[in-house]
Amino acid sequence: MTTMTQTSARFREFKMPDVGEGLTEAEILKWFVQPGDTVTDGQVVCEVETAKAAVELPIPFDGVVHELRFSEGTTVDVGQVIITVDVAPGSGDEVPAPAPVQEPVEAAAPVSEEPKGRTPVLVGYGVAESSTKRRPRKGAAAPEAAAVAAAVQAELNGHGAPAPAVPEALVDAPPVGRPLAKPPVRKLAKDLGIDLATVVPTGKDGIITREDVHAAAAPVVAPEAPVPSASAPVTAEAPAAAVPASARETRIPIKGVRKAMAQAMVGSAFTAPHVTEFVTVDVTRTMKLVAELKEDKDMAGVRINPLLIIAKALLVAIKRNPEVNATWDEANQEIVQKHYVNLGIAAATPRGLIVPNIKDAHDKTLPQLAASLGELVTTARDGKTSPAAMSGGTVTITNVGVFGVDTGTPILNSGESAILAVGAIKLQPWVHKGKVKPRQVTTLALSFDHRLVDGELGSKVLADVAAILEQPKRLITWA
């Protein structure tokens, strides 16, 4: 099934699809085509951002773009027509006048009659296989150009020898196509106010990387640099013009991940009665275990850190106190106990706070859990977390210690019963075997839904986690 309609034999419409799990709207971040451009089956025509992910949309037929119904920055409801394509150009039929382009400031209203209801489509599955291949990327960097670009970017980053002179053929070459970059990189550039056309790519085949964007933004965030690079003035001055130094306020539109996170936090805070308990614990033995695991051949190739042991400790505590792993069904007036654990890990990304989860974490061995944690973090940082990965969580861990704070009172992820906050691990004086010694200590905080979890149950779960971190051998004796 595809999200397209056919107004005549000549013109076909492509609607905003449901890009994941019932989302109702998406913002058009970037159009890659304009009216008059030729498109082919499977070619990406635009990039959109939902509350959960940035996604490129391919069009499922060949033709010539007739009109774009919405401009960049507009939020469009699922099921609305966003582009029409002339699939039989030159046939001599009467060409209808394009509809006015909807601007971001206007309400996103349908521009043509739509059937009631919508037809969900997962992008990438709704397009039938075609013998038509996606058009080749233009302007792939030649080896000589790539070498020059790499040297220039190295100089912008503040290391490496001065860049070699750019060959005359490259200087005189006309600009070709749009800059090559993955969607998360385009999103990062947009957030930082960087024009990708001004960024020197260092990636394979001339692809712009996240490091390239950060390097291009460096003159903006570090204005005290002695003399800006000759290639940087345009990039450095653009954001400054957008936010004058005299400005006392900056207004930022609430949308995408920030909007979804805000709605979820408000809904959780004012629906579930929160209780938070704290415990301070000596984790010296846990830190020794982490160091030993890093040398273990069976753990080679996976990332080992204290979060891994804390996650395993929470899973064991849930196994010992299964009633904590539940959700409140208000509609049916039931408590739904979960016999599985989808362990959420709160992650701060350039797009905002997201909480992807590890499916069936309770069934995983320590090496499997370590691999899943590493994959989850990498995917989140690259902006590639799928909507499915952020759905169905049962309990969550938030590691606020990475920011150097002792602990916090975390708000429950919507629909979950508990969230564990982990504070910074610090060397502190501690009474150990009757003597005051320097020990590695942290503070844990457990917030829980008091409709589901009473004080005794919540205290048992937190105490079990603390006991395991103090004596990691309990991972064996209790599991």
Written as six digits, the tokens of 129 are 């296989």
451: β partners: none
Bridge pairing between strands 63-68 and 81-86: antiparallel
DSSP 98: P
DSSP 332: T
> Is the distance from CB of 29 to CB of 187 less than 8 angstroms?
yes
CA 52 to CA 389: how far, in whole Å?
A: 10
CA 479 to CA 473: how far, in whole Å?
A: 10
CA 343 to CA 355: how far, in whole Å?
A: 9
Q: Cβ neighbours of residue 149 under 8 Å, at least 6 residues apart?
A: 141, 200, 201, 202, 206
> Is the distance from CB of 46 to CB of 58 less than 8 angstroms?
no
CA 170 to CA 153: how far, in whole Å?
A: 16
CA 278 to CA 447: how far, in whole Å?
A: 9
Whether 450 is catalytic is yes
> Is the distance from CB of 313 to CB of 468 less than 8 angstroms?
yes
Active-site pick, 66, 214, 432, 450: 450
Q: Is the dihedral of CA 40, 46, 49, 54 positive or negative?
A: positive
Give 155-192 as a DSSP string: HHTT-SSPPPPPPHHHHHPPP-SSPPB-HHHHHHHHHH
CA 321 to CA 464: how far, in whole Å?
A: 9
Catalytic residue positions, numbered: 450
